[in-house]
Amino acid sequence: MKTITMTLCASVLLALAVPVQAAGDPKAGQLKTSMCAGCHGIPGWRTAYPSVYSVPKLGGQHADYIVAALKAYKEGERSHPSMKGIAGSLSEQDMEDLAAYYASSYSGPAN
């Protein structure tokens, strides 16, 4: 019985030690979009370079997809010089905030 109790206590302590990922804040994310807008578009407008660079529109994308893409650029799993630099400068909270903002905003069909 003592082993079960110790195992249960250790499991609870480990669960409490795991960092909790804060949910993204769309309002905070909106304040962080200036570096995104030049290529990915301004709400109500098309992306700046759709035919040349095939830049995706972010508004309406799933938040998990945006976070995964930003992490992949930051870790070098996806390759694009500008995105690697931009994603490299973002904290996990920045990524979550940006993803929450773009997931909650939709300005029409993608180009």
| 35-49 pLDDT, tens digit each | 998 888 755 555 555
pLDDT of residue 5: 62
Q: Tell me if 88 sits within 8 A of 74, measured CB to CB.
A: yes
Answer with the residue of higher pLDDT: 9 or 85: 85
Q: Tell me if 97 sits within 8 A of 25, measured CB to CB.
A: yes
CB-based contacts of 105, cutoff 8 Å, min separation 6: 26, 43, 59, 60
What is the average pLDDT score of the chain?
A: 80
Question: Residue 66's closest CA among 21, 34, 29?
Answer: 29
Q: Assign 52 a pLDDT band (cuts: 50, 70, 90).
A: low
Q: Which fold has domain 24-104?
A: Cytochrome Bc1 Complex; Chain D, domain 2 (1.10.760)
End-to-end Cα spacing for the chain: 63
Listed by start position, the domains of the chain span 24-104
Tell me the pTM.
0.70
pLDDT of residue 20: 47
